[in-house]
C-alpha cells in the first residue's frame, strides 16, 4: 500500500467504494487521515463497515463541514451529463475534489528515494483503444527483463494498493479519461497516448471534452518523455504542441501504415515490421508478423507504443524484442483460445464498439464472426468496408436483428445466444478459417461485463476442444 501524504490529521471524504475507492480509504488511513466513506449501494456500505471504515452520508446538510477534500471514484460523474449530488454539494462548499490518481502522484515519492542510486519510474498510458494491451505489454517486457515492475490503474490493482516502488522499480499505469480528468497531480516520467476514437462522449460533453481529458496527462503533468500516436488529427496536434522543434527527442512519435522520417525520434509499423528511426537513421527493426500474441495492425500499433515507452527509460531494442516475442496477449483481446481441426478460435470480447471490432476484423483472414449484444449508436453500419473477409456472421443478443439489417451482402444467422453462435460457427467453419468473437456491442443484455462474455466463449470452445460439442 502507498500511504497518502499531505492529509495527516485531516478528514477526507471518499465517494464510491469499489476497488479504487476502498484502496483510497485504506491508504488515507495509513497516512494518518480520517477517511469518511460513502457509496450509494448498501452492499458497498456494509463492506466498508466490515473493514472498520467510517460511513459518512454526504446528503446531510452539514456533511462537508470540516472536510479537507473529496476523493471521487472514476465511475461517478462530476460534470457531464450531470454532477453527482455529493460532488455538487462539495463544490458549493468549496471542498477540493481529487481522485486516487492525484493522491498517488502526490504520495509515491518519499524521502527514501534520496538514498536510491536508481530512482523509480512511472509510465502512464492512455488512449481510446489499445491502452490495456500496451500497459500489459510494457509490464510483461519489464518483468521478462528482470526489472521490478507493477501494473495498476484501470487494469490490475488500484494505484494506492500497490507496494511502494523500490530502487529502480517501475510502475506502469493504465489511465482512463475518467481518471485523468479529475486528478490534481499528474507527474509521470513517461506518458503514452495511443489513439483517439469517439467514446464516453456523454461523460465528457462531446468529442472535444474527451480529448481535453486525455490531454491533461501531457499538459498538466509535463512528462520527461511523451510517446504519441499520430494516426489521428488529435495525436498530431498533441505531438505538435509538445515538441519544441524537429529534433526534440523528448517526443517519440508513433504511426502505423506510414513511415516517419526526420531528425527527431519516431517509431512506426509498416508491412508488419516495427522500425525505430532516430537522428536521421534507422536505429532498430523488429519483424512483428510471427508474434502470435500480437496479431493484426492494431496490435502492431500497441507494440510500437510499448517499445517507445521502454526505449524512453533506456531499455535496449534487443531486450524489448525478446519480451515482445513471448507475450501471450491479454484475455478477451485478440486472445487465441484454441485451434481445432485447422480452425482458430479467437476471443476479442473487449471489442465493445465498432472501431475496436474493425481492428479485430482486419487482423484475420476468412472469418466466422460472432457479433452482437447491446448495440451502441450507429450499430455496425460503419464496419461495411472491413467485412470483406467475413464468410458469415453469427448474431447474438439484443441487437442481433438490427445488426443483420446492417450487414449488407454478408451472410448471417440470428443465433440469439453465445452457445448457439459458437455451435453454428463450429459447424460451418473450414480449415484455415477463424471463428472470431468481436461483438461490436456492450455485453449487459446477457452478461455482467465483457469479461463474463469472453469467459463464456472460451468455456464453449474448450468443450469443443474436448469433443463435447
132 known ligand binder: yes
Which residues of the chain fall below pLDDT 70?
Answer: 469
Domain assignment present for 6? no
Q: Do 75 and 201 have their domain in common?
A: no
Domain assignment present for 182? yes
Neighbours of 332 (CB within 10 A): 23
Domain assignment present for 1? no
Question: What pLDDT does 468 receive?
Answer: 85
Residue 370, by phi and psi: left (phi above 0), alpha (psi -120 to 50) or beta? Answer: beta
Domain assignment present for 139? yes
The range of the structural domain enclosing residue 438 comes to 335-464
92 vs 57: CA distance, rounded Å: 16
Q: Considering 285, 306, 325, which residue would you say is the last residue of a domain? A: 325
CATH number at residue 81: 3.40.50.720
Q: Do 398 and 265 have their domain in common?
A: no
Nearest Cα to Cα of residue 140 among 305, 314, 320, 337: 320
Domain assignment present for 104? no
Residue pointed to by grid coordinates 456523454: 202
133 known ligand binder: yes
Question: What pLDDT does 334 receive?
Answer: 87
What torsion do the CA atoms of 126, 132, 133, 136 make, to the nearest 10 degrees? Answer: 100
Q: State how many domains the chain has.
A: 3
The pairing of beta strand 97-98 with beta strand 149-153: unpaired
Question: What pLDDT does 469 receive?
Answer: 65
Q: Do 127 and 71 have their domain in common?
A: no
CA 155 to mean position of chain CA atoms: 7
Domain assignment present for 3? no
130 known ligand binder: yes
Domain assignment present for 453? yes
128 known ligand binder: yes
SS3 67: strand
3-state class percentages of the chain: helix first, strand second, coil last, to nearest 5: 35, 25, 40
CATH number at residue 203: 3.40.1190.10
Q: Do 317 and 371 have their domain in common?
A: no
Instruction: Please name the residues in contact with 82: beta carbons below 8 A apart, sequence gap of 6 or more.
Output: none
Question: What pLDDT does 197 receive?
Answer: 86
129 known ligand binder: yes
Q: Do 201 and 315 have their domain in common?
A: yes
What is the per-residue pLDDT across 19-48, written as a single tens digit (0 to 9) for each? 899 999 999 999 999 999 999 999 999 999
DSSP for 182-242, written as a single string: H-S----SEEEE----S-SHHHHTSHHHHHHHHHHHHHTT--SEEEEE-SSHHHHHHHHHH
363 vs 143: CA distance, rounded Å: 27
Cβ atoms 292, 336 nearer than 8 A: yes
Maximum separation of any 2 CA atoms in the chain, in Å: 68
Neighbours of 419 (CB within 10 A): 16
Question: What pLDDT does 215 receive?
Answer: 96
Count CA atoms within 13 Å of residue 292 on its CB side. Answer: 9
83-91 contacts: CB < 8 A, separation 24 or more?
A: 84/15, 85/58, 85/59, 86/15, 86/38, 86/58, 86/59, 87/15, 89/58, 89/59, 89/63, 89/64, 90/13, 90/58, 90/64
Q: Do 317 and 394 have their domain in common?
A: no
Amino acid at each position: 500500500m502507498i500511504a497518502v501524504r499531505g492529509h495527516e490529521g485531516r478528514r477526507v471524504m471518499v465517494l464510491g467504494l469499489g476497488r479504487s475507492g476502498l484502496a483510497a480509504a485504506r491508504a488515507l488511513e495509513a497516512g494518518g487521515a480520517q477517511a469518511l466513506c460513502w457509496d450509494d449501494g448498501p452492499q458497498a456500505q456494509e463492506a466498508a463497515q466490515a473493514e472498520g471504515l467510517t460511513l459518512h452520508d454526504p446528503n446531510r446538510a452539514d456533511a462537508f463541514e470540516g472536510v479537507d477534500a473529496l476523493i471521487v471514484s472514476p465511475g461517478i460523474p462530476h460534470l457531464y451529463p450531470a454532477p453527482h449530488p455529493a460532488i455538487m454539494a462539495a463544490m458549493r462548499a468549496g471542498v477540493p475534489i481529487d481522485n486516487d490518481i492525484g493522491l498517488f502522484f502526490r504520495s509515491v515519492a518519499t524521502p527514501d528515494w534520496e538514498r536510491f542510486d536508481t530512482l523509480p519510474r512511472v509510465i502512464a498510458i492512455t488512449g481510446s483503444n489499445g491502452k490495456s494491451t500496451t500497459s500489459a505489454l510494457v509490464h510483461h517486457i519489464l518483468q521478462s527483463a528482470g526489472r521490478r515492475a507493477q501494473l495498476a490503474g484501470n487494469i490490475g490493482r488500484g494505484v494506492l494498493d500497490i507496494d511502494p516502488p523500490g530502487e529502480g522499480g517501475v510502475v506502469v499505469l493504465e489511465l482512463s479519461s475518467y481518471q485523468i480528468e479529475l486528478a490534481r497531480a499528474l507527474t509521470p516520467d513517461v506518458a503514452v497516448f495511443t489513439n483517439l476514437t469517439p467514446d464516453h462522449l456523454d461523460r465528457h460533453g462531446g468529442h472535444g471534452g474527451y480529448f481535453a481529458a486525455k490531454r491533461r496527462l501531457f499538459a498538466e503533468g509535463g512528462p520527461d518523455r511523451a510517446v504519441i500516436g499520430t494516426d489521428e488529427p488529435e495525436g498530431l496536434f498533441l505531438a505538435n504542441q509538445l515538441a519544441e522543434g524537429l529534433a526534440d527527442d523528448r517526443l517519440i512519435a508513433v504511426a502505423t501504415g506510414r513511415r516517419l522520417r526526420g531528425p527527431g525520434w519516431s517509431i512506426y509499423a509498416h508491412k508488419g515490421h516495427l522500425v525505430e528511426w532516430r537522428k536521421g537513421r534507422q536505429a532498430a527493426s523488429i519483424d512483428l508478423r510471427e508474434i502470435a500474441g500480437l496479431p493484426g495492425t492494431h496490435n502492431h500499433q500497441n507494440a510500437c507504443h510499448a517499445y517507445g515507452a521502454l526505449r524512453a527509460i533506456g531499455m535496449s531494442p534487443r531486450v524489448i524484442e525478446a519480451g515482445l516475442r513471448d507475450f501471450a496477449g491479454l484475455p478477451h483481446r485478440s486472445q487465441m483460445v484454441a485451434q481445432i481441426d485447422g480452425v482458430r478460435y479467437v476471443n476479442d470480447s473487449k471489442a465493445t464498439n465498432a472501431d475496436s471490432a474493425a481492428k479485430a476484423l482486419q487482423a484475420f483472414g476468412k472469418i466466422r464472426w460472432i457479433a452482437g449484444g447491446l448495440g451502441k449508436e450507429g450499430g455496425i453500419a460503419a464496419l461495411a468496408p472491413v467485412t470483406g473477409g467475413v464468410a458469415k456472421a453469427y448474431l447474438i443478443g439484443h441487437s442481433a436483428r438490427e445488426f443483420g439489417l446492417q450487414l449488407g451482402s454478408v451472410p448471417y444467422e440470428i443465433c440469439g445466444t453465445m452457445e448457439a453462435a459458437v455451435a453454428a460457427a463450429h459447424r460451418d467453419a473450414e480449415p484455415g478459417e477463424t471463428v472470431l468473437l468481436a461483438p461490436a456491442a456492450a455485453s449487459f443484455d446477457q452478461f455482467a461485463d465483457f469479461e463474463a462474455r469472453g469467459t463464456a466463449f472460451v468455456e464453449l470452445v474448450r468443450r469443443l476442444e474436448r469433443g463435447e460439442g
